[in-house]
Structure 1
């Protein structure tokens, strides 16, 4: 049988050592990711690298450890530092927002056992699946272990850490690009936190160059939704305190005025996942979530996305933070293969 899971890269040690190991193990995939960025953006590698390096001083100030890991990545993969930085700022270097995604966090009265379930469908152009991997990090300096779904050479994306902190993302639109931190380095630092409140404090202390939403959870049953824009963040209290559901339009009063309706399927998707969650309230398990993430209402722009605006559900995730389990699916919700990993 063919292997329908993503490659797993495991690294440990100092920041530089982890970056070097990542680069050495995934060198071919890193090169493919860089070629995909070229093709996706239609821009030259030189221009993309020059643009990306404009964010490098901000990354260095954000986290010297992250910056050392980038340097190790460059050496391990046999690429330039500029190309390694581009892997951390692909969207920002091209000023191109990408993604749809349906994200959720459910806890206490919503789930069958009262434990938290959080995750998303990852909706992107299908080529991203060809350069994706799982990255398990074991820092040697006391920072927590973590497991991420990401792309070869990109050091921060959605995942779960040993404290049960997990985060999942939705693209948001209607934002003018500004100089600020790229989202991927911040996402990596989120996975170095112990609680949701720690994550919110981190997000509130740094200005980003574009907009996005994060759905957060931790190992103590806390969940939250945070919309992020260059001017700041806004937390969204959902209709029930035991649920956080989000797609690709602004929900917070602070930012609702920026909504442009860029993705017309966003509102129907949110309505649909709310409907499905409500119908199974109090009985929701991992298998229930797998069914929800395979739903085709409003096809091709449903929760399980099949090509609307050129994007597909290339993967999906379900975190069980109390158990430190991370379920990852390769492929569409309706056809893909799930695999569970311990953090």
Structure 2
């Protein structure tokens, strides 16, 4: 499974240009494949022209809240020779797709632990066959796992903070900061879980999500719904795709089949983490992530979520361990915040 590594130092504009230039050909092909593959995932026909009003609304919200990342998107467009609307579409695919209540496969399973070797590990379950467009992006402040031109998805930073995420479904989605870009903002500017929570509280998030935050002292999940946040914390934190906080649980929009999958994966991840020593290796964690029901195999349907990657993050040592594709079949690769 191919992974593109992009080392992108410099100003936000320069970082974007480097990122875009490294991926110019694959991003052009991705955009031309059913409007960034969105046409394969929705019933109604889509066009870039039809999406432009929504793109403009999200773009305005992001530019107001996170001007540095808006500048980086402009650099991405320049480097990849895309229009700015195309570069923004790559950041907004998940928000523009909205969410369906008919979900039966799964989505990401995430856990974190503090202690002498803090760790955050998760599967990445997506539709759209996005394991064909995996990138590891190293910026001046962070090391980020990315897909198809996204500026952020999950990762670690030089201050010893790791951030992961889970999709949760609820509330109204609309123009605001996509959680993927919010994660990149936290990695660029937060020095700890506490600082990340303060930054997150100030962002107008576009959609429901749960973020997992981990440093040497704290492991927390942060659920977002309708402009409000709820936090769960412990030496170990585990999350899948249903709301865990009692304030948000009644608003959960998962159907019964998806919820049953989420509950099974939550139980399996909790038990798997409990069985690992506090100095467990990346391969020990991958063994947990590669087992069913945590690992969600493909079934040949581009619309169905499947595990397209698994990651183990060690924020103290600045290491991102990645198994691209199905983690039960792939081999691990190591990326670091330091110069190779």
Deviation at 1:14, TM superposition (A): 1.3
Deviations 1:218-241 (A, max 9, x none): 2x332211001222110013xxx2
The one of 260, 283, 289 equivalent to 1:287 is 283
Contact 1:23 1:76 in 2 (8 A): yes
The residue number in structure 1 matching 2:124 is 122
Deviations 1:99-154 (A, max 9, x none): 7110010122xxxxx3111120001126111122111112xxxxx2x111112321
Deviation at 1:275, TM superposition (A): 1.7
The one of 187, 190, 205 equivalent to 1:191 is 187
The one of 101, 112, 118 equivalent to 1:105 is 112
C-alpha separation in 1, matches of 2:269 and 2:147: 27
3-state SS of 1:191 partner: helix
The residue number in structure 1 matching 2:76 is 73
The one of 18, 21, 28 equivalent to 1:21 is 18
* 1:91 maps onto 2:94 in alignment: yes
Give the count of matched residue pairs.
320
The residue number in structure 2 matching 1:141 is none
Runs of 5+ unmatched residues, structure 1 = 109-113, 139-143, 297-301
The residue number in structure 2 matching 1:111 is none
Scaled by the length of structure 2, what TM-score is found?
Answer: 0.88
The one of 311, 315, 337 equivalent to 2:331 is 337
The residue number in structure 2 matching 1:299 is none
The residue number in structure 2 matching 1:269 is 265
Deviation at 1:27, TM superposition (A): 0.6
Q: Which runs of 4+ in 1 moved over 6 A?
A: none
The residue number in structure 2 matching 1:307 is 298
- Report the aligned-residue RMSD: 1.9
The residue number in structure 2 matching 1:159 is 155
* 1:57 maps onto 2:60 in alignment: yes
3-state SS of 2:203 partner: coil
Deviation at 1:5, TM superposition (A): 4.3
Deviation at 1:248, TM superposition (A): 0.3
C-alpha separation in 1, matches of 2:278 and 2:191: 27
Runs of 5+ unmatched residues, structure 2 = none
Deviation at 1:282, TM superposition (A): 4.5
3-state SS of 2:46 partner: coil
Larger CA deviation: 89-98 vs 202-211: 89-98
The residue number in structure 2 matching 1:248 is 241
Contact 1:180 1:207 in 2 (8 A): yes
3-state SS of 2:139 partner: strand
The residue number in structure 1 matching 2:315 is 321
3-state SS of 2:263 partner: helix
C-alpha separation in 1, matches of 2:127 and 2:97: 16
The residue number in structure 2 matching 1:37 is 37
C-alpha separation in 2, matches of 1:119 and 1:187: 16
Q: Measured at CA, do residues 101 and 62 of structure 1 come closer, stay the same or move farther in structure 2, by a change above 3 Å?
A: same
Scaled by the length of structure 1, what TM-score is found?
Answer: 0.88
